[in-house]
Each structure stands twice: as C-alpha cells, then as structure tokens.
Amino acid sequence: MISVNPHALDGRVVVVIGGTTGLGLAGVMACLRVGARVVTIGLDEASVAAVREQLGARGEAVAADARDPDTAPAAIAQAIERFGRFDALYHVAGGSGRAAGDGPIDAMTDEGWHATMALNVTSVAWSNRAALRAFLQRGHGGSILNLTSVLAWAPSPCHFATHAYAAAKAGIIGLTRACAARYAPAGIRVNALAPGLVETPMARRAAEDGTIMSVVRQRQALGGGRIGHPTDLDEAVVFFLSDRSGFTTGQVLAIDGGWTVRDAVEDS
C-alpha cells in the first residue's frame, strides 16, 4: 500500500505495458491510488476485461501484444486522446521463455532465444521508443520505468538457469541507462526496477518446488525468507513515475529481499 503522498500522481496519465496481472496489475492499482489516470495493455482477454471493470472512468485496459511495435504507440495515443496528456510509461510485460526452449545456453534452442528476447527486451525497446518519441514531440519531459530482474546480474546457476532470460533482462538495464544518458537534457528520466522472485503466475514453478523454495528462503532472507508480493514494488513504482524522483535517472533498484547481496549462497 502507498503510505506517503497519496496525491503523488494527481493529474498525471500513465501507460502500463503488461498491467493486467501480477506485478503490472499491482502497479496499475498503485498509480490509481495516488491519483493517476491509466491506460494499460494486457495479452489475455479475460484479465483485460476484469481490469477494465476496476478502472471504470479512471482508465482503460486494452488487449494487445507488447511484442507488436504498434502496441505502445497506440496505447499512448489512446491516453492522449482520452485524457489529454501522457506523462509516464511503466513497462512490465515479459516472462519466462522456458516453454519455448530457453535454458542453460548449451541446451537452449534457437527458438527459445528468439522468443525470450522478443518478449523481454524487444518489447521494451518498442515501448520505450514510443514513449520517448511522444515526450520529445510534446516537449514536457516524462518518466519511463522498466522492469528487469535480479537475474541480470545475480545469477542462480541451477534452479533459474534460463540464459536467454538473463541476457534479455541485462539488456533492459543497458537500454535503460543508455536512454537515461541520452535524454536527460530533455527532462526525460529512465529508470528500472529489478525484483527477486515475486508471487506471480510466472513464479508458480518455483513456488511449488520445495527444493527451490529452500534456496529462495536463503537468498531472499528478509521477511523470513519469503517470496515477494507484487505490492512490495508499489512505493518504488510511484516514486519513479512521479516527480518524487525528479532528480533521478539511469538507476536500477533491486527489490529482492536480499537476493543480490546474498549471491554467494549456492542453489545447487
């Protein structure tokens, strides 16, 4: 829950790419609680319909694929048409490529690499490009927040050895920092969040495996060694999307229960 400045996003319009389940949905709700209007994109029609009911007059949910380069520009155009402005982008869409063939690189398939990259880093490039073009055209600055992962720089050699995913999430950090450097003179901030293992549909495999959870309890030692909750990111989402982070860009904040400082704990 948001505990500070309940009006942090009053009058602001946020586009959330991947905001109908899990971390994205928590982010949408956090933005609404502090006064934002939201347009969000989701892939699943049922989840989109459910979120649309929750948004009511304060936003819109649309079924679309973040991997399509036309999706983010259309969402931003809809935000401007409906609410008259566009102030911030939060890109959450992504996910495991394990089912497509991601894994340790010696076992990874070509299809696994391409599918994982398209979902996790190409989609971010498309949404960031659309947001930057809109901010530059309108000339009033703005904020972009991308979702990466602690696996980008704190690997798990056994239980989370999906190497295309790790490479894609590291690519998001590189893209975030490069854009932050380039567009700071235009008043545009670009930052990222790096969660550890969080209770989302993608985490179900790990959550149901006792061996993996014993490792998670060691690496995410805060809070008794639990899986993160989507709402654990809420305060950071509001901070980076609002003027509270007005002098902050190019940063990657790990919200991980200690994962990145306990990376000497082996998971084998």
Which residues of 18-112 form beta strands (DSSP E)?
Answer: 37-42, 59-63, 88-91
Check if the beta carbon of residue 100 is closer than 8 Å to that of residue 118.
no
Of the residues 83, 126, 165, 239, which is catalytic?
165
The gap from C-alpha 139 to its chain's centroid, in whole angstroms, comes to 25
Q: 16 - beta bridge partners? A: 40, 90
- Cα Rg, the chain, nearest whole Å: 18
Residue 15 neighbours by CB under 8 Å, 6+ apart: 38, 39, 40, 41, 72, 75, 76, 79, 86, 88, 89, 90, 131
- For this structure, is 90 an active site residue? no
Q: Which two tokens stand for residue 231?
A: 């709402």
Catalytic (active-site) positions: 165
